[in-house]
Chains A and B, each alone.
Chain A
């Protein structure tokens, strides 16, 4: 295919980002646990895999559309660092990148203001929330914190609640909680439900993303059921993974969770967001995920109110691809400002 650079006139359709919420509010008040619904779920494994494997063959975006999609993808990134060696210093660097995710000359070549996009949020450990809040002050970018004994969740519920409360107090506007996988694997859906409900209450005004840790749930059916239970308990987002499981976000798991979101919306009218996390590192992957969301849930889910990538290196690859869109040459990653 042609490697010609885009001209600025190719991008008139890029709308200001992020889009405002639809009139049907995202707010998910939850609902009483419907065990019958949960238990009667049927998820066909092979069918999921086939549909998921076909999406990248059925959908592709090129040239100007691709640039627009990549910019949108960047606005949906929860730019993340979740390491034992995180310090105030590298969190500051991350936050700076969140505010200026794409090199100024690339943005200008694409014909959009250099501050046209930021990432959707910055995601850190509880101990780094204050660092991030400080670094992002005035940018409008929310800080997300993982909580509830992330990544394993193997601490007592009371401590999980305290952790959430502390994060919120420190300024986190989004809380990524982890499910108790032991309860899921034992099918104790009522206890899963009760615990997530407590988390939701502890979040107060902060948005709650529930991490299923799908790589530890064994089957798609468990993933689907856990998704439903989390939404019934009031999750604002459902999220695949901590990034620490052996297998993190995949397209089939995403398809499974997106369908749960759709079924929940169909029955309750409440919209819940989706966040695949871990393992999504290329611009091409990101475009495929966006296409999946678009085709399964519709355009109204393609903004950072309803969709996030939990990722770190993805941003760099998107930026390189945008460079290619802008200048028609391939870029080395070290030409892009690092996180």
Chain B
């Protein structure tokens, strides 16, 4: 009773390839451009299952990049100005045409990428279509749903080879919906479905230049991402390249979203349906040969069931079928290319060398073609290379745990945070685990379920930004009041980068400083200190910086000159405070913020005169700033319990819930503008959404912030939630940006600071929120609102299936 062969017919796909003479050029302005010179560089598209060269693709040059960006820029003028309804119709037409050609797309994708036809037919293509429909809807209602936003401009999108068409769709759809134009670069090894998509675009009547598709090598990609006329880069791929982009685009005011690697855990509790969990792993690690950024590649199974579970898993592996991608009754097909297969093989060899046990079903892969068997690695520890490193292949590594707490700890013991699976029939345990694993997507009792209505993206070094859901739209819009476009980072700024953040010794004033005195009697000295872990701390270096009155005549105070160790201590205090604070009830957080506002209002005049004293703004302006600060605290106290997330309307049978979680520890570096209000405007949203903050107040006017810690002390704020480090702001910003325990950094200041902050933040891929142009903090539109809440949050989508009653219906449903 053998299954035998059941090949999908590939003749329509071959006929399409023949129609293009098996040669694809650049697609710019809805035209295929195939240069005629004989020496034009070509790259082959190879079928991984068979090794056959399916077609050749022209390698775009940097000139082609310029032409594509220029086309996108020209098209942007009219595309962005279209009525939302017209844009909706265009995207709807694309969706329809994709659907019409869905089988051809599925076959082409399967041939070119080597993934099973079942997956392209049942997963990739339907999901791509769904993204188009979903975003056609957003185009239609953009004006009412995103009233204060506008398109970003020209978007460069660089996508990988593992989901060529799906990645294309979920990048292009929101970009177009929000009124942007696109230059898309498919991966070098998988370009054919993008070429077919281009044909479909032209057929759909999309105006020329709105979507341009060019492919090429890494230099071409780098030229594209750094192009001076590209306003945003969206990248999916490796963490190493993601970091490179974060550095490359630092300080340029280019939006960036990154969807990167993963080492996603699948937690199997003893209370799980073990057979169900085995199937979850089939979908988790052997979907697309494990070449999935959110693959469930790290099994964590409770000790009490580990032995029986691993046996069940091995037995299931024995029934997995591996074969040519166009075969219909296979579970796995080919690895993308020899390089990747060699990499997988060498990783597994490292595991073996380190003492791991490797299980692979016998003789399950075809002798020809680029295949690798489903693989289970046991007898590994957290220290094992295979537990730490992403393999990007069909290799599952298994560890055991004793308790839920240990499961969560092991699950989070990774630089990545893309997804996780949780298997248990206990709902409380499932949700506890789901909420505590730091990852952007959590699947309860399922794995690798996606939909356009739910955002996809990671925490930590899995990148930032979301694709899908309303949360994904913000990657393709900017606030209407924002004027700043792309900026070039000057060579001088880059050269100064070495000096930036180095402590400077400030010369003391040549004249003796005058302290405040009252009628000849010395005033009682008030020494503002650092505020760390809820206590006032002297600066580690025990140096101070004078704060002068606005006329430069009087010494208003001397604040600590914070150094690296002060920042270290503050971050440590914030790390300690963050988990408990994040778990506090929203009601409680809001009460504390209201209380801060109340206590600030009691000292309204004092703060106003302090601001006036430092800045010379006048007492009226000072009062206005304090009043606005109080109002702002009210705003964010209000948002404590009104920004928690929502239920996503996916077709999934169950609940898909987006939860706005805290980012974690956030560093905030303020400029000198509006020293109290700016500090409050930045710190309050971060704190109210559950983050712990290390804040560096205005370097020049720090006393408004240091005065504030007395207010904080009397407002029931737990120690460590807000930490204040005064001193040289670039020194503090640099230390924060480099600190790996800091999850996000907000920098308000000059372009040089933005550049360096973003550049250094790439080390652990901090979320950065920088503003080098200044903003009117007194203006509500600019100084408060959703932008800040969003930056203070990490969107986690939790998928929880419903079901206990047996469904009706006979036969095979």
The one of B5, B279, B425, B807 that contacts A50, using a Cβ cutoff of 8 Å: B279
- CB pair B425–A44 under 8 Å, yes or no, is yes
Q: Of B271, B276, B653, which one neighbours A48 at CB under 8 angstroms?
A: B276
**Most B Cβ at <10 Å: residue of A44, A50, A68, A246:** A44
A–B complex contacts, Cβ < 8 Å, 6 sampled: A43-B425, A44-B273, A247-B807, A247-B808, A249-B810, A278-B810
Q: A42-B274, A246-B808, A280-B811 are in contact. Are A59 and B445 (CB under 8 A)?
A: no
B785-813 CB mask vs A (1 if < 8 Å, else 0) is 00000000000000001111111111111
Q: Is B129 an interface residue (CB 8 A)?
A: no
Inter-subunit contact A295/B319 (CB<8 Å):
yes
Asked whether A285 lies within 8 Å of B1 as measured between CB atoms, the reply is no
Asked if A58 is at the interface (CB within 8 A of a chain B CB), the reply is: yes
Given contacts A47-B275, A64-B4, A221-B804, 7 further A-B contacts (CB under 8 A): A1-B9, A51-B279, A56-B812, A60-B328, A65-B4, A68-B1, A223-B806
A75–B274 CA distance with the chains assembled, in angstroms: 33
5 closest cross-chain pairs (CB), A and B: A279-B810, A47-B276, A46-B801, A65-B4, A44-B273
Pair A46/B653 contact, Cβ less than 8 Å: yes
Q: Are B813's CB and A250's CB within 8 A?
A: yes
Interface residue ranges of A230-281 to B (CB < 8 Å) = 246-253, 259, 278-281
Interchain CB contact under 8 A, A247 and B1: no
A residues less than 8 Å from B498 (CB atoms): none
The docked-state distance in angstroms from the alpha carbon of A59 to that of B329 is 4
Q: How far is the CA of A228 from the CA of B121 in the complex (A)?
A: 38
Question: CB of B625 within 8 A of chain A?
Answer: no
Given contacts A43-B273, A247-B808, contact A60 B329 (CB under 8 A): yes
**Cα distance A43–B804 in the bound complex, in angstroms:** 9
User: Which A residues from 21 to 70 make CB contacts under 8 A with B?
Assistant: 42-51, 53, 56-65, 68-69
CB pair A69–B811 under 8 Å, yes or no, is no
Q: Is A251 within 8 A of B654, CB to CB?
A: no
Q: Is the CB of A59 within 8 A of B3?
A: yes
CB-contacts of B297-334 with A (<8 A): 319, 328-331
B532-564 Cβ-contact flags toward A at 8 Å (1 or 0)? 000000000000000000000000000000000
- Flag if B6 contacts A60 (CB, 8 Å): yes
Contact indicator B5/A62 (Cβ below 8 Å):
yes
A282 proximity list for chain B (CB < 8 A)? 811
Contacts of A295 in B (CB 8 A): 319
- Residue among B1, B4, B319, B425 with the highest chain A CB neighbour number at 10 A: B1
Bound state CA distance, A54 and B654, in angstroms?
18
Query: CA of A65 to CA of B2 in the docked complex: distance in angstroms?
Result: 7
User: In chain B, residues 271-295, which have Cβ atoms closer than 8 Å to a Cβ of chain A?
Assistant: 271-277, 279-280, 283
Expressed in whole angstroms, the Cα–Cα distance for A282 and B812 within the complex equals 10
* B811 and A42 within 8 A (CB): no
Instruction: Please name all residues of chain B whose beta carbon is closer than 8 Å to the beta carbon of A56 when the two chains form the complex.
Output: 812
Instruction: Tell me the minimal C-beta distance from A302 to chain B in angstroms.
Output: 5
Instruction: Give the CA-CA distance A257 to B331 in the complex, in Å.
Output: 23
Select B811's contact among A13, A51, A53, A250, beta carbons within 8 Å.
Answer: A250
Residues of B within 8 A of A294 (CB): 1
With A and B bound together, what is the CA distance between A281 and B329 in angstroms?
A: 23
CA distance A250 to B810 in the complex (A): 6
Q: How far is the CB of B103 from chain A (nearest CB, A)?
A: 13
Give the complex CA separation of A58 and B3 in angstroms.
11
Q: 1/0 per residue A203-229: CB within 8 Å of B?
A: 000000000001101111101000000
- Tell me whether A175 is interfacial, beta carbon within 8 Å: no
Residue of B nearest to A293 (CB): B1
Option from A45, A68, A250, A259 in Cβ contact (under 8 Å) with B809: A250
B432 at the binding interface (Cβ < 8 Å): no
Interface of chain B residues 91 through 123 with chain A (CB within 8 A):
118, 121-122
Decide: A285 near B801, CB < 8 A? Known: A13-B2, A46-B446, A59-B3.
Answer: no
Most buried by B among A50, A246, A253, A302: A50
With A62-B4, A62-B6, A250-B813 known as contacts, the answer to whether A46 contacts B806 (CB < 8 A) is no
A45, B801: Cβ atoms under 8 Å? yes
- A202 at interface by CB-CB < 8 Å: no
Task: Tell whether, in the assembled complex, residue B803 and residue A46 are in contact, meaning their CB atoms are under 8 Å apart.
Answer: yes
CA distance A252 to B1 in the complex (A): 23
Closest to B272 in A: A42
Q: Does A72 contact B (CB under 8 A)?
A: yes
**Per-residue interface assignment for chain B, residues 1 to 26, with 1 indicating a CB less than 8 Å from any chain A CB and 0 otherwise:** 11111100100000000000000000
For B117, give the chain A residue with the smallest CB separation.
A57
When chains A and B are docked, how far (Å) is the Cα of A53 from the Cα of B277? 16
